[in-house]
Structure 1
Amino acid sequence: MKRRKFIKTSSSGILAPAIINGIPLQDFGLSEFNPKDENDHVLILIYLEGGNDGLNTLIPLDQLDNLNRARGNITMKESSLLKINGNNKLMLHPSLSGFQTLYNENKLCIVQSVGYPIPSFSHVISTNIWASAKNEGDEFNNGWLGRFLSLNHPGFPENYPNSTNPDPLVIQFDVNLPLLFQGTNGQMSMRIGKDGSNIFKEWPNALNEPVDNSRRGRELNNIRTISRLSNSYSQSIIEAYVKGINVVNYPSDNNLGNYLQVIARLIKGGSKTRVFLVNIPGFDTHSSQVDASDKTKGLHSNLLKTLGDAVLSFQRDLEGLNIADRVIGMTFSEFGRRIQSNTILGTDHGAAAPLFLFGSKINGGIIGSNPTIPSSVGYYDNLPMQYDFRSIYTSVLKDWFCVQNPELTSIMLKPYPLLPIIKSDCNSNAVNDLKNIEEKLSIVVTPNSVVQQAKITISSIKGQAQIQLFDYMGRMCKLIFSGKLEEGTHTFIFENENYSVGNYYLRLQQGTAQRIEPLIIIKL
């Protein structure tokens, strides 16, 4: 098939076929294509590249006074924010009307303050941590989804594609996060560039010529294997695109919408690809995050509108195509932004931030509580995590892809608490069940302003528990307690071990449930 036989689709800028083997598209009778095998679950990952400002995305109304003190030059007025059903303490950015609609339909789950215990503020390192589900200092040699796919496809890439797996295992659209999909035997994903050249270019000859058994020969053979795979997979992608349709008009001038439109069509067309990755670049908003004359507008507003409008159209398309129960989506970003804004209408690299999951099979609602904003913050102050991002990965693997132990722990490298984010036959929990447990947990620090020593009083349920101390930068700096507790009240003594003066946070975790309580370390 020659590249000249392809044309650009009107909306996406991704090359799509006008003719297959000399036969015009209309002669295929697109309306008759309705693949029978539509029972595989699909995960859509949306990478908010650069570090999304969670406090400008999801605004805690009960902290608005302190937010205005910390970032008054970018904080919006309450009257401009979007309400969500059943919650009068949390509102969405005005550009996220698409998310507001999905939340009010119980198709959006908001997980508060997602991060990891010792955050890195480097784009490269933090992206590697999120992609690998490892820690800084570990060897970043494979990704969490790469490990998952390797367990399910141990022989890949040899003898692929085949009748069971005729399509790419993963497709990355105009984004390149190879570590995320690096498996134990090699790269598990196929990347499609913005111009579609990865699919539609002329493929090199001599892919089947023999090579010797030297290291160079083995590496060359692997490259040729991937090239042969790409050639075969390109044909399957084209065929799925031809068979599929869209039933919704996507927003114009919206690159994310363009890619999601293609993904919906591929899934409807029978693609068996399990994971798709797309991204929105530009979230590294050090400056001009808002418009000086109107804080509801500006760079961040435009990015969030792209996200919300595209995701809502995608969800409506999936529903119209009758495939919504097969697909969920998840946003992620390498980090959030700091509590305090800077002097050029921006925010700098931070720690924890909210994460969003969407779809008909998502348990709609909010997991976690509003972050606490101290009345006085410094430049380096950050939000501590409430939930480790690896708990979300673990929950997706178990409750969407139905991965069980010991494979689950093998993929995630250690156990993580599950979160009730997905309606699935694999899972019977719900967001409300988690809230009921968290309501039984409490932390009281006396005195709250600590000089040398303080008493920590907690209320707990029966089971394993951890009490962690996070510093003002959002880093876990001490494990105060780890062990089994009976249901009831327990007391611990906290010693000031020459900690720097500033804002700190205590985090109580029992299974999936957690509580955060701020404290201040001072000097007399």
Structure 2
Amino acid sequence: MKRRNFLKKIGFAAGAPIAFQGVPLKLLGAHQEIQNLAAQSTNDRVLIILQLHGGNDGLNTIIPISNYDEYYSRRANIAIPYKVGNRTLIPLDSTVASEEQVGLHPDMHDFKRLYDSGKAAVFQGVSYEKNNGSHFRGRDIWFMGGDADDYFSSGWIGRYLGKEYEPLTYPSDFPTEEMPDPLALEMGNDVSLLFHQEGNIPTSISLGSNPTNLANLIDQLEGFTDDGIDPRGNPPAFLNNSPYGQEMNWILGLEDKSETYIKRLAEIYESASGTSVTYPETYPFNAPQGAKSNPLTNQLKLVARLLAGGVKTKVFLVKMGGFDTHASQVEDYDPTMGVHSALLYHISSAMSAFQKDLRSRGLEDRVLTMSMSEFGRRVGSNGSYGSDHGTGGPVMMFGLGVKPGIYGTVPDVSQSNVGMQFDYRQIYANILHEWMGVERSVIANDIFFRDFIEGPNPDGGNYEPMDLIKEVILGENEYLKKNYRMESVYPNPASNYTQAKIFVNNYQDVSVQLINVRGNIVAQTQRRVAPGEHTFSFTLDTLSPGFYFIKAKSEMLDDTKRLIIRK
């Protein structure tokens, strides 16, 4: 049997999880041949794909405000309230046109903070033509990077690896000793198509959960014993040079390389310190017990620590399930509570902690995270306080490198399904080009088999460059200053009074202080404001002439301007 045929016949059954720090992992090429591909990477940037397993309800995640009444009428029993009660949707960006206004679920405050800090973006109506709303087929399509009628045996990341590192071929030209780390890691118990290469397969093993004991556990494993003939797990001599012997040697080689990999992974983990950031553990409100714990916390903690330890892995796949919300998506007494609410809280709170963790480790400029889900939910709700399989849905993106914004327009909720505005590959292609540095010709010809960055689309339309990535400069936050600012102090110079105009992009408790040159607060006013422009006034009659400062402060605002008082 030829090795290539042997690989094809193994199928996905060859994959088994490795549990590391309590998180099951899938290793792309546990043997070092494929690990060495990463040594040729032209940058140290990392891509994390966040899989929302089950089909996320995008309309209760990114909520249309401009056509809210119709949104509410189509799903009254699960619709998120607007300007009613304490738990109302969060307007995402008051600076965009009124017809483009959207809101966030009330448990996504951390996403709002990331967005206002220039570290998050939203893409509406992401799908593919002929989306059939199938879980298994949908996930395969998103992972393989093809059309609804395609049946590729490889994933889009796998094809990227295959072309990026030519003329080296896997496995014949490897291993080398330059790259001891895996090129990709997948969390969870399933082996996805994402990292699959034509003729090759992700190979994994299963081990215990304590990372400090991984290497010791490997050393304690004993080889297969067959009545004393095979004490070390080696095949009998009469099988040497036979097809069966060659295949057996290859399998044993995988074991050896996996052992090398596990020890290396344990060393990387131990070389980095634990996080100083507090990650969320549980949902603080009402939800079924199975939805209370945050499933992303341990996964993201592990990714951050491995990166801090120096792992050269380029792509991570992290996962969370529970999004197939046909029934009891919300609580019957409150549509802002329930399973889906907890899931959205877990995403935004864990990603916020993850960004803080990366920043504290000096890694924030290297990591970009993007979400994906096999489909969205239908516009209309069902009678079971749930939503059924749909087509288009939102993609969220996180990181210091993303250009924040709301991409696309508010969905037409008069239809049964959310219409497609972006082919999912359009976003992937731009990320590959702008973030990972892949040539456009490689993306068009060898990864997606059409140009999803620019040029005509064979199905009609035109895919323009999306320009998703901003230049990463730590310490600068122009987006935050744009959305939370003191616009002016007028009149200035002043004698009797002055007014400070501020702009905020969220509901905020804002304090505005008048401070003298000695740093003493001589006047102060404070109030809660809505998104938009607001005026704070000061009477100056009793103050001496000279230089003063007006300081505006809130959760997201910290701005100061100088004031001159003249009599």
Structure-1-length-normalised TM-score: 0.69
Who is 1:164 aligned against?
Answer: 178
Of 91, 95, 102 in structure 2, the residue corresponding to residue 83 of structure 1 is 91
Q: Are residues 64 and 186 of structure 1, via their aligned partners in 2, closer, same or farther at CA, if it must alter by over 3 Å?
A: same
- What do the CA deviations read for 1:436-481 (whole angstroms, capped 9, x no partner)? xxxxxxxxxxxxxxxxxxxxxxxxxxxxxxxxxxxxxxxxxxxxxx
SS at match of 2:59: helix
Measured in 2, the distance between the counterparts of 1:218 and 1:348 equals 50
Q: Are residues 194 and 388 of structure 1, via their aligned partners in 2, closer, same or farther at CA, if it must alter by over 3 Å?
A: farther
Of 152, 155, 178 in structure 2, the residue corresponding to residue 140 of structure 1 is 152
Q: Report the Cα offset of residue 423 of structure 1.
A: 2.1
SS at match of 2:193: helix
Amino acid in structure 1 at the alignment position of 2:427: I
Q: Are residues 77 and 147 of structure 1, via their aligned partners in 2, closer, same or farther at CA, if it must alter by over 3 Å?
A: same
Of 70, 90, 111 in structure 2, the residue corresponding to residue 99 of structure 1 is 111
**Structure 1 spans left out of the alignment, 5+ residues:** 1-7, 17-36, 426-431, 433-524
Answering whether residue 127 of structure 2 is matched by residue 115 of structure 1, we say yes
Larger deviation: 330-339 or 84-93?
Answer: 84-93
Does structure 1 retain, via aligned residues, the 8 Å contact 2:355–2:399? yes
Q: Which has the larger radius of gyration?
A: 2
Amino acid in structure 2 at the alignment position of 1:264: A
Of 303, 313, 318 in structure 1, the residue corresponding to residue 353 of structure 2 is 313
- What do the CA deviations read for 1:82-116 (whole angstroms, capped 9, x no partner)? 12232462110111112111101111011111001
Answering whether residue 254 of structure 2 is matched by residue 226 of structure 1, we say yes
Of 41, 45, 60 in structure 2, the residue corresponding to residue 41 of structure 1 is 45
Q: Report the Cα offset of residue 230 of structure 1.
A: 2.1
Measured in 1, the distance between the counterparts of 2:254 and 2:67 equals 52
Who is 1:413 aligned against?
Answer: 449
Who is 1:54 aligned against?
Answer: 58
Measured in 2, the distance between the counterparts of 1:366 and 1:423 equals 15
Answering whether residue 289 of structure 2 is matched by residue 277 of structure 1, we say no
Larger deviation: 171-180 or 62-71?
Answer: 171-180
Q: Are residues 354 and 62 of structure 1, via their aligned partners in 2, closer, same or farther at CA, if it must alter by over 3 Å?
A: same
Measured in 2, the distance between the counterparts of 1:73 and 1:361 equals 38
Measured in 1, the distance between the counterparts of 2:353 and 2:233 equals 41
Amino acid in structure 2 at the alignment position of 1:77: P
SS at match of 2:66: helix
Of 256, 267, 272 in structure 2, the residue corresponding to residue 239 of structure 1 is 267
Q: Are residues 239 and 62 of structure 1, via their aligned partners in 2, closer, same or farther at CA, if it must alter by over 3 Å?
A: same
Provide the aligned length of Structure 1 versus Structure 2: 392
Q: How does 1:332-347 map to 2 (within 5 A)?
A: 332-347=372-387
Measured in 1, the distance between the counterparts of 2:334 and 2:89 equals 13
Measured in 1, the distance between the counterparts of 2:296 and 2:336 equals 21
Of 197, 201, 212 in structure 2, the residue corresponding to residue 187 of structure 1 is 201
Measured in 2, the distance between the counterparts of 1:283 and 1:193 equals 29
Amino acid in structure 2 at the alignment position of 1:402: G
Q: Report the Cα offset of residue 219 of structure 1.
A: 5.0
Larger deviation: 181-190 or 227-236?
Answer: 181-190
Does structure 1 retain, via aligned residues, the 8 Å contact 2:72–2:79? yes
Measured in 2, the distance between the counterparts of 1:345 and 1:310 equals 26
- What do the CA deviations read for 1:227-272 (whole angstroms, capped 9, x no partner)? 3332211112111111122231211242201110111010010000
SS at match of 2:368: strand
- What do the CA deviations read for 1:141-166 (whole angstroms, capped 9, x no partner)? 00000111222454334576643221
Q: Are residues 15 and 170 of structure 1, via their aligned partners in 2, closer, same or farther at CA, if it must alter by over 3 Å?
A: closer
Who is 1:68 aligned against?
Answer: 72
Q: Report the Cα offset of residue 349 of structure 1.
A: 0.6
Does structure 2 retain, via aligned residues, the 8 Å contact 1:59–1:92? yes
Who is 1:423 aligned against?
Answer: 470
Of 421, 443, 447 in structure 2, the residue corresponding to residue 386 of structure 1 is 421
Amino acid in structure 1 at the alignment position of 2:419: P
Q: Between the two proteins, what is the percent identity of the paired residues?
A: 35
Amino acid in structure 1 at the alignment position of 2:22: G
Does structure 2 retain, via aligned residues, the 8 Å contact 1:324–1:359? yes
Who is 1:174 aligned against?
Answer: 188
Amino acid in structure 2 at the alignment position of 1:234: I
- What do the CA deviations read for 1:377-414 (whole angstroms, capped 9, x no partner)? 5xxx2111000000111111111110104322211221
Does structure 1 retain, via aligned residues, the 8 Å contact 2:129–2:147? no
Who is 1:250 aligned against?
Answer: 279
Who is 2:495 aligned against?
Answer: none
Q: How does 1:195-210 map to 2 (within 5 A)?
A: 195=209, 202=218, 205=223, 209=235
Q: Report the Cα offset of residue 48 of structure 1.
A: 0.1
Who is 2:29 aligned against?
Answer: none
Does structure 1 retain, via aligned residues, the 8 Å contact 2:125–2:419? yes
Measured in 2, the distance between the counterparts of 1:212 and 1:178 equals 34
Does structure 1 retain, via aligned residues, the 8 Å contact 2:208–2:214? no
Q: How does 1:476-491 map to 2 (within 5 A)?
A: none
Q: Report the Cα offset of residue 192 of structure 1.
A: 7.1
Does structure 2 retain, via aligned residues, the 8 Å contact 1:342–1:348? yes
- What do the CA deviations read for 1:353-382 (whole angstroms, capped 9, x no partner)? 0101110011111111111111xx5xxx21
Answering whether residue 22 of structure 2 is matched by residue 13 of structure 1, we say yes
Does structure 2 retain, via aligned residues, the 8 Å contact 1:15–1:196? no
**Structure 2 spans left out of the alignment, 5+ residues:** 1-18, 26-40, 224-231, 282-292, 454-464, 473-478, 480-567
Q: Report the Cα offset of residue 325 of structure 1.
A: 0.6
Measured in 2, the distance between the counterparts of 1:285 and 1:244 equals 39
Does structure 1 retain, via aligned residues, the 8 Å contact 2:125–2:422? yes
Does structure 2 retain, via aligned residues, the 8 Å contact 1:244–1:265? yes
Structure-2-length-normalised TM-score: 0.64
Q: Report the Cα offset of residue 222 of structure 1.
A: 4.6
SS at match of 2:186: strand
Does structure 1 retain, via aligned residues, the 8 Å contact 2:380–2:387? yes
Amino acid in structure 2 at the alignment position of 1:251: P
SS at match of 2:406: strand
Measured in 1, the distance between the counterparts of 2:207 and 2:69 equals 45
Does structure 1 retain, via aligned residues, the 8 Å contact 2:355–2:364? yes
Q: Report the Cα offset of residue 278 of structure 1.
A: 0.9
Answering whether residue 402 of structure 2 is matched by residue 362 of structure 1, we say yes
Amino acid in structure 2 at the alignment position of 1:415: D
SS at match of 1:62: coil
Tell me how large the CA RMSD over aligned residues is.
Answer: 2.9
Measured in 1, the distance between the counterparts of 2:132 and 2:208 equals 30
Who is 1:466 aligned against?
Answer: none
Who is 2:5 aligned against?
Answer: none
Amino acid in structure 2 at the alignment position of 1:395: N
SS at match of 1:102: helix
